[in-house]
Chains A and B, each alone.
Chain A
């Protein structure tokens, strides 16, 4: 037996195991959403749970809310992240030790981010108290309530705090490299700094920017803790709706939760496909444009 020939297979084993568990849970979700849960006495295949979920009044408001805050927060995160990266590269700030501070929010869990926002922005929070002490508001209640609000500002603040640094992490190294090599060449050939950024650096960074948008979007669309802690009672974000169904005391209700999860899975797959198309189109465009 040749050890070396087997080596690659051994090395991908962890990934295989991980993917196995992942695919198993997705399959399990889909099976349960189709009404198969023997432990709760459900043994018949049916689409009735999807039907019930699709026709319940709160699905579309929830879906709308989830799409709204994940699209807006991800777009803002990407725009801010790219702008900060560009500024940091231009000013040489990336080489300073202090710049590494942007990594802190990436390490902090989302749950803690939600509590941080809660402590800062609630009406009994730090900012409201400072305003009150400075006599800018007559009582802490006058402080505008940015949490639990219909515009999901609290949720988006928490996501921005987490995601802007993530976008920076993804973009800044590549941007620095391009700026240092091709960018410099362009400047030497007489392009203005703005033109260099707009025509050279930014287009070359686009694949990374798309990827980071997709990652950030997929996370905020599917994650539960931040909308649970900072969202309104109604409408609930889609994952919160699924959680409430999942924790329904009647186990026969489980397929409803799984049908909601199934809808989220389908939407995520669709969005990934769209991303894949955009990404491929971009690759082709670039090949045609002769950058590579």
Chain B
């Protein structure tokens, strides 16, 4: 009988799902501005489900062996990491919204850029919440463009900074002494090492960033940024960069007829020696790759003279999170100098910190300065001096479509 009941319940659930998908769901709850102290008390002994990209073993390991024990010890919160690509996270969130599920399965998500834009447009996030976090008020430069805008889209307190990334090229000085300083030199480089250079096909996140970086180098960031929201003008403006990519393609891996579908494949082929160059949206990843023995000791990061694209990535809370208190406490902990320093250590993850150095005490600054930077890495000040902002989120798919229609398989 029990079986029948559960089957009937399941059928009812399915049917109620059909009903719900036809009716608009209410707007997400807004923050009640409760005190952080009460969140601390309520969060004790709870579990926070942290959904985010899980494609990098070192990041996963940092969350499992540094972050999770820290919040367990200090706040008695169990942090459960669930690896999932952001597009699937959004699909899941949208699915839960369609089903009218008020107690969602996700409490905290790792997000930025066009996905944040989508989540906001579809009212999938809880907030504003950043002003409730003591560490946010204490350590974050709230006037910084990167704290106010995510890929040109206003954050309005719905995201808290998690880490900073910057795009770099990587090659091995023992195999290739060259250090291409702009797109033109990269073309020479590809000609010399014919068939051994390529990049992941957009919409892969890193591949898409590579294409934008080429656009910045050929057309110039200012010129692209000044276009604003006009998609047709953008298409015309980026054409010189597309022409460059067309010129580059015959010298690429598989003669540019096809491209690796993911950054993981590119890294593997570089590690195997099938390629002489890879790319990364983590400026310090090369050090970690050398430490784990995947890349040779002589591998190093390279940047263009005109600058490399950089972004901040963020943490957000789904509108239907079951454990908002727990998520607030964990996000606050992530903004502490201890956690940011442990994240910055190339031995762990090597992610650039988001705290404002002017707001740190000398002891707190030392937490960062005592960390040895590791092999092949470009120092933080040099990176920051060559840092270019991301484009508005809704323009990125336009560039990806132009790339898809003009570059692969067209000879």
User: CB within 8 Å of B: which residues of A?
Assistant: 10, 13-14, 17, 20-21, 24, 27-28, 31, 36, 38-41, 43, 57-58, 122-124, 140-141, 145, 148-150, 228-229, 232-235, 244, 246-251
The interface residues of chain A lying within 8 Å CB-to-CB of B203 are 244, 247-248
Contact A249 B115 (CB under 8 A): yes
Q: Can you give 16 contacting A-B residue pairs, CB < 8 Å?
A: A13-B3, A14-B7, A17-B10, A38-B98, A39-B97, A124-B269, A141-B195, A232-B409, A233-B258, A234-B410, A246-B87, A247-B91, A248-B203, A249-B114, A249-B397, A251-B90
Contact of A251 among B17, B118, B269, B405 (CB under 8 A): B118
B24 in the interface (beta carbon within 8 A): yes
A13 to B4, CA, bound (A): 8
User: CB within 8 Å of A: which residues of B?
Assistant: 3-4, 7, 10-11, 14, 17-18, 21-25, 85, 87-88, 90-91, 94, 97-98, 113-115, 117-118, 121-122, 195-196, 201, 203, 254, 257-259, 261, 269, 272-274, 393-394, 396-397, 404-405, 408-410
A246 to B94, CA, bound (A): 12
Nearest B residue to A41 via CB reads: B122
A140 to B195, CA, bound (A): 12
Closest chain B CB from A52 CB (angstroms): 13
A247 to B400, CA, bound (A): 13
A140 to B196, CA, bound (A): 11
Closest chain A CB from B255 CB (angstroms): 10
Contact A20 B258 (CB under 8 A): no
Contact of A145 among B3, B254, B394 (CB under 8 A): B254
Contact A234 B14 (CB under 8 A): no
A27 to B17, CA, bound (A): 12
A149 to B409, CA, bound (A): 10
The interface residues of chain A lying within 8 Å CB-to-CB of B88 are 247
Given the known A-B contacts A10-B4, A244-B203, are A250 and B397 also in contact in the complex, defined by CB atoms under 8 Å?
yes
A247 to B11, CA, bound (A): 28
Please give me the 7 A-B residue pairs with the lowest Cβ-Cβ distance, nearest first.
Answer: A247-B87, A233-B408, A124-B272, A249-B114, A234-B408, A124-B274, A234-B409
Closest chain B CB from A60 CB (angstroms): 14
Given the known A-B contacts A39-B25, A122-B274, A247-B87, are A232 and B98 also in contact in the complex, defined by CB atoms under 8 Å?
no
Contact of B259 among A233, A246, A249 (CB under 8 A): A233
The interface residues of chain B lying within 8 Å CB-to-CB of A251 are 90, 94, 118, 121-122
Closest chain A CB from B196 CB (angstroms): 8
Contact of A20 among B14, B201, B404 (CB under 8 A): B14
